[in-house]
Structure 1
Amino acid sequence: MMRQYELVDRVRSYNPHADEAALNRAYVYAMQAHGLQKRASGDPYFSHPLEVAAILTDMKLDDATIIAAVLHDTIEDTDSTREEIDRLFGPAIGKLVDGLTKLKKLDLVSKRAAQAENFRKLLLAIAEDVRVLLVKLADRLHNMRTLHFVPLEKRARVAQETLDIYAPLAGRMGMQHMRDELENLAFKHLMPEAYAMIAARLEDLRQKNGRIIATIEEELTRELTARGIAAKVEGRQKQPYSVWRKMERKSISFEQLSDIFGFRVIVPNIEDCYRVIGVVHTKWAVVPGRFKDYISTPKPNDYQSIHTTVVGPGRQRAELQVRTELMHEIARNGIAAHALYKEGLRADRGGLSSESRAYQWLRRTIALLAEGDTPEEFLEHTKLELFHDQVFCFTPAGRLIALPRGATPIDFAYAVHTDLGNTAVGAKINGRHAPLLSELQNGDEVEIACAEGQVPPAVWESLVMTGKARSAIRRATRGAVRAQYAGLGRQIVARAFERAGKPFSEEKLKSALPRLARASVDDVLAAVGRGEMFSGDVVKAVHPEFVDERKPAATSTRQRGEPGWFGIKKASGLVFKVPGPEGESDRKSIPIRGLQGDLPVRFAPHGGAVPGDRIVGILTPGEGITIYPIQAPDLTAFDEQPERWLDVRWDIEEGRQEFFPAEIKVTAINEPGTLGTIATVIGEAGANIDNVVMKAISTDFREIIIDVEVNDLKHLNAIMQQLRARPVVHQVERVNG
């Protein structure tokens, strides 16, 4: 375990002005606070914060970060309080320790909502002070180094969490050295056999090719020295996880990998970087398509280097990375290389340079959080941005846009501006018209065509690659649905005012908003459209003297048999009938307001409706009422006939197993047993098939329209999800959904 004087010496080795007294005070305080606590390894618990601090001293971080590392578990795991930390070490360090204390362990295997909320807290704490991230990553690194002491059932969860969140986050912050170690430690615990196999193969190659590596180093150094370039050449070998990931991504064997060996050439200045490339490219043959200049176009995590691959001595392929000493430091430690401890620098950003691209990415990520998405959605699109390699594209004006690999012009449009994405209708890539779903490549110039009033299709959400695009599409879709509810509500309210003999005025409705407990007129109209507010209540809020003799739809306390209840009778189809005398109504029922007489009620002919759907009724004189889900395309035929729209809603007793009609379209592979597989899934899910229509859409695929009877929307969605999981099923969608 590191001694007190050793901690001070480590900090003073790079910061002669370190606050020795504060470091000593933190060491003694934490040691006393943790007392006799033990780690899973049997070591004193106090050894853990010391090792975390040691990792951070290797990154040459400021006194406050080192002290926070020593104290980071005191509030959570001992009797220490935030007030005591503030009094002894100052509020700045107290805030750092408190930010770390609030973070609970993430659990990616279960409790998704809780885990997502914790990740939200993590990034919020980092946004206030990036040093929280540095301590958290160092804490995770030491925990991974000692993971073999943890019970077996917990190791896989911690390792997966590291691979899914912490390692990509370290990479995004430019901390490649830490990312490599986190990934390899996680890989070792998650797939020990694969790790052992690759590590053994790499060691064999190192033994076999060690002389070749030394030869290339010597020859390259000699060539550069002869041209007056003072360069340090370092041979290196890919890490096991990096090798595994490339084998998986490209579906190739270990023997097919051509760039296991690489070399770093470190020179004094940027001009020398390009001189090195000139020497290398004239000395050895270049592998086409493998030249990348990240000096003129840095990566979003601040990484800068020139990459090239050549065929060197012995016909051995070798990747070269050429960079300056400062670039090398940033490539290893990323955001930590910007964490400055000199006096007079900005402390409100945790000492982090505002020029850091990694910091700007972090700020953009936090901005997504402020846009009102749920924690689960926030985690989803943050992980999307964490996990993908990048491509670099340009606007016609030359602005650089970094996107995840696999991104489309839709992602590009949203990266430029949300309004551009929402109104996008077409794209040009390198001057040629291209589909909006084309995959973008490095260096593409993208031009987006727009149309005013355009709303992004909901299906785009599942096709885009960036979190920003997915979030914006989701919000736009919600806005469109809300506008549809508000439009329906406006028609219902206008009709209610007309029946009451009162003029409808938005100005008067605005003055009544406090009585309706809504912030805007649109909120009121959307609530009426969704069935959350009775139209008569809106009239009464504007005209308090108005008395509505009609009653709103009943709640669960309403007695069956009251006027307005319709029981389900199964005849030639599902038909609703007005009940007879009180008590004779069927228990299966939905309330329909404002109707009298014996009117037949039926479900929509295309797709039906199930409990859980928002529904409306359309009155057809002489025929009765047809029940539609609010999203049914057929409803557009009645947009100009508001007098036919009726306010209806479900009232199904909890737990009752009743069947309601729905229609799904399944696109499936044309092979023996496909229909049987689909029917088995539906039957095992407890649903009923009422009708099946099949047609060929190509030689290989069949389109199957299935009328099913299900309990509710949750039951229907579960069946569709189970169908999507079958290999023979290509696509499943609801007909009226």
Structure 2
Amino acid sequence: MQQTIDSLAYQLSSYLEPTHINLVRRAYLYAEQAHDGQKRRSGDPYITHPLAVAGILSGMHMDHQSLMAAMLHDVIEDTGIAKQALGEQFGETVAELVDGVSKLTQIEFESQAEKQAENFQKMTLAMSKDIRVILVKLADRLHNMRTLGVMPPDKKRRIARETLEIYAPIAHRLGMNDMRIEFENRGFSAMHPLRYKRLKAALQSARGNRKDMVEQIQQVLQKRLEDEHINALVIGREKHLYSIYTKMRSKKKSFKEIMDVYAFRIIVDSVDTCYRTLGAIHNLYKPIISEFKDYIAIPKTNGYQSLHTVLVGLHGVPIEVQIRTKEMDEMANSGIAAHWLYKTNDNPNTSQMRARQWVQGLLEMQQRAGDSLEFIENVKIDLFPDEVYVFTPKGKIVELPNGATPVDFAYAVHTDVGNACVACRINDRLAPLSQPLQSGQKVTIITAASAQPNPGWLNFVTSGKARSAIRHFLKHQRHHESVELGRKLLTRSLAERGVELQSLDKEERKNLLKEAGISSMDALFEDIGLGKRLPNAVANLLDSDGRKASAPTTVIIESHDGMMISFARCCRPIPGDPIIGHFSAGKGLVVHHDSCRNVTELRENPEKIANVTWSPNVKGEFPVEIRVEVESGRGIIAALATRITEQHANIEQIQVHERDAHNSVINLTLDVSGRVHLANIIRRLKSLRSVIRITRHRN
């Protein structure tokens, strides 16, 4: 039966004042007029949708402004009415809520994914001002999912996928379990209708067989608690279809294996009774220690609290038990909405505080992301619910996604700590930065003022915050370095023509930018630094009489680090080698050994070649490959490694190829500071009796 405005007003009278109900009614009449003549795909008048959304929110006991926004939520998007007009009619707050839920319709997007990402980004900004935006949006999506049947199959699947990927995890993140379950089951039914039907039928037939067993265990638990004078409600808990499906897929388990576990919830009156109940049932059946989780002492990110334990019942039947208070149960089912649903005089509940922190984190990520697609990718990573809980050295708990590493921890503490991180201690022992963390560990981050993020971290970090912060830093660094390199190269090219870059007046710079067809000097420097433009060609734009340079530009290499000067892997040049550089689009300046085969072809384009030379004080370590022919014997690799480390060099890689029964070839990649360092290493290795010949690999 469809809801009418009168039946909604009657529902609202249980918790709203008459003046507020009249405002909701006024918003309804305004929306009815605005949507006049519009129909839904089912053929119903369009106004039935906003009315149903307001009905869902009234079930959460939402305030009158949220209900007014629900009535008007499609007015900006689907009718000609502007946000300003709504503000004048219903106040600024309601207009902001409606605008936050409205999609971007005026902009043309290249793809559906980009459209979805941009809309989510817009909603995030609105959520950061008012958290109610997301509740109106979730109610809107819930009603759309309930009426999905009339949609064409491809649109149905697209909406279902978006619901499963974004809206169900958001409902979970906000602790709204009832809504999440409905999203997941309806999304599953639309995405995979046949699988849904098969599982539903299997669940119904299994339910009959399980009924006696569930009642038997329930009675035993209830009796034990009565004997201990504990007043509790014991409820048999059923897994919902989508959770059965995901468990079957992720844990590679059969339907029978999942249904063999019996789940119960015990609701008591106080936190103290929760722990007494736990003691009583652990005395009744033996617990599986590794499965015990105390979410009362350490709540989940979304504010969820409960004690979880798994017992081994009669005939080895596994029994999952959740123990919580009535308030915790309400919070677990309604989450952030519990604040409105169970009106209390205290401050906003923990679920709301955590929701605000989460939205604040989203806002930080959004500011750092390069574009909306990167932002939504980071958000999806952060929505996955499994967490690990680790401790700072001062005992503060930090929540991280499952599989998180010390680098994720460092960024969770503060972006600056992440950027300056060089090493870590887990439980006071040195550990690799890529090691996955486990709950209960104490993590200490070691920082250095000169340190900076390593691009390799992107291969193992799991949290959206770490990923977006590293990418942001690298992008900024790449831009900064390419501008600096471009400025150096152009300065030298102009100097050879007797022109100083600093002495160019405003008019000359303006003409240069016009000739180059670019907006700013920094953008021009960046293009030169990235190898997209050649410094000589840009200098020629200024040099009107077309004089050619008297000598090619020389670039001095001062260190191995830097994103815009890279060293060719084909020949691996090291300080002391004769070298040559060439400009490669997007990579900047690539340095080769002067005798490298690949440079032969490049010399045919002299304008792309740069003269490069080593600085007398070049810093850093450079990889080099050597080929060592040895007589096979026990301990030869250990002997080589000892000699190399004595010379303060690192071994990056070792490959061993057996030539025959007596001889082997060992390819080593070492980090050295230059040719002199390499010569010392080779001299030490040649003094080993087993070494036949050593050659340096060059292309």
Q: What's the TM-score once normalised by structure 2's chain length?
A: 0.73
- Checking the alignment, whether the CA contact within 8 Å between 2:496 and 2:551 is kept in structure 1 is no
Task: Name the CA distance, whole Å, in 1 between partners of 2:292 and 2:106.
Answer: 41
2:260 and 2:317 in contact (8 A); partners too: no
Superposed, 1:84-483 pairs within 5 Å as 84-102=85-103, 110-257=111-258, 260-313=261-314, 315-339=316-340, 356-483=353-480
Worse-superposed segment, 284-293 or 251-260: 251-260
Match of 1:322, SS state, is strand
Q: Is the 8 A contact 2:172 2:385 kept in 1?
A: no
In the aligned structure 2, how far is the partner of 1:529 from the partner of 1:231? 71
Query: Once the 2 structures are TM-superposed, how far is the Cα of residue 400 of structure 1 from its aligned partner?
Result: 1.2
Question: In percent, how many aligned pairs have the same letter?
Answer: 39
User: How much has 1:139 moved relative to structure 2?
Assistant: 1.1
| 2:586 aligned residue | 613
**Superposed counterparts of 1:618-633, under 5 Å:** none
Q: Deviations over 1:371-392 (max 9, x none)?
A: 3532121111111111352111
DSSP 3-state at the match of 2:291: coil
1:306 maps to amino acid: L
Checking the alignment, whether the CA contact within 8 Å between 2:381 and 2:463 is kept in structure 1 is yes
Deviation at 1:431, TM superposition (A): 2.9
8 Å contact 1:455–1:480 — kept in the other structure?
no
Q: Is the 8 A contact 1:489 1:525 kept in 2?
A: yes
Residues 170-228 of structure 1, C-alpha deviations (whole Å, 9 max, x = no match): 11111111111111111112122222222222222221111222233333233323333
| 1:640 counterpart SS class | strand
Give per-residue Cα distances to partners, 1:88-140, cap 9 Å, x unaligned.
32222122122222456999994333332222112112222111111111111
Deviation of 1:302 after TM superposition, in Å, equals: 1.0
Q: 1:341 to 1:527 in 2, by over 3 A?
A: farther
C-alpha distance 65-606 of structure 1, shift in aligned 2 (>3 A): same
- Give the 3 Å change call, closer, same or farther, for CA 86–355 of structure 1 in structure 2: closer
Alignment gaps of 5+ in structure 2: 553-566, 572-580, 604-608, 618-653, 659-697
Q: Deviations over 1:35-75 (max 9, x none)?
A: 34322222222222222111111111111112211221223
8 Å CA contact 2:38–2:45 kept in 1: the answer is yes
Q: 1:109 to 1:193 in 2, by over 3 A?
A: farther
My pick for the range that moved more, 434-443 or 449-458, is 449-458
Q: How does 1:648-687 map to 2 (within 5 A)?
A: none
TM alignment of 1:467-546, pairs within 5 A: 467-489=464-486, 491-492=488-489, 495=492, 499=496, 526=526, 529-530=529-530
TM-score by length of 1: 0.70
Pairwise mapping of residues 561-600 of structure 1 onto structure 2 (< 5 A)? none
Structure 2 SS opposite 1:638: strand
* Amino acid across the alignment from 1:197: R
CA–CA distance in 1 between the matches of 2:393 and 2:109?
41
Structure 1 residues 495 and 110, CA, compared in 2 at 3 Å: closer, same or farther? closer
Q: Deviations over 1:250-283 (max 9, x none)?
A: 1222222267532222222211211211111112
Residue identity opposite 1:243 in structure 2:
I
Deviations 1:351-398 (CA, angstroms, capped at 9, x unpaired)? 887962122112111111123532121111111111352111112221
- CA separation in 2, counterparts of 1:636 and 1:293? 65
- The whole-number CA distance in structure 2 between the counterparts of 1:234 and 1:376 is 43
Is residue 582–residue 590 contact of structure 2 (8 Å, CA) maintained in 1?
no
Aligned to 2:83: 82
Tell me the CA shift for residue 311 of structure 1: 2.4
Q: Is the 8 A contact 1:52 1:69 kept in 2?
A: yes
- Residue 513 (structure 1) shift: 13
- Native 8 Å contact 2:398 2:409 kept in 1: yes
Secondary structure of the equivalent of 1:233?
Answer: strand
Contact preservation (8 Å) 2:583, 2:610: no
Sort the Cα spacing of 1:698 and 1:477 in 2 relative to 1 into closer, same or farther, 3 A.
farther
Count of residues in correspondence between the two structures: 588
- The question of whether the paired residues in 1 share the 8 Å contact of 2:369 and 2:375 is answered with no
- Secondary structure at the aligned position of 2:430 is classed as strand
The letter for the 2-side match of 1:469 is: A
Say which SS state the counterpart of residue 356 (structure 1) adopts. helix
Distance 1:148 1:109, change over 3 A: farther
Higher helix share: 2
Q: What secondary structure, in the 3-state scheme, does the structure 1 residue paired with 2:201 have?
A: helix
Verify the 8 A CA contact 2:308 2:321 in the aligned structure 1.
Answer: yes
Cα distance in 2 for partners of 1:605, 1:426 equals 28
Superimposed CA distance per residue, residues 440-463 of structure 1 (whole angstroms, 9 cap, x where no aligned partner)? 222222222333422322122132
User: Could you say if the C-alpha distance between residues 211 and 314 of structure 1 is closer, same or farther in structure 2, counting changes exceeding 3 Å?
Assistant: farther
Structure 2 counterpart of 1:384, one-letter code: I
Q: One-letter code of the match for 2:299? A: P
How much is the aligned-residue C-alpha RMSD, in angstroms?
Answer: 4.4
Contact 1:174/1:332 (8 A) holds in 2? yes
8 Å contact 1:108–1:115 — kept in the other structure? no
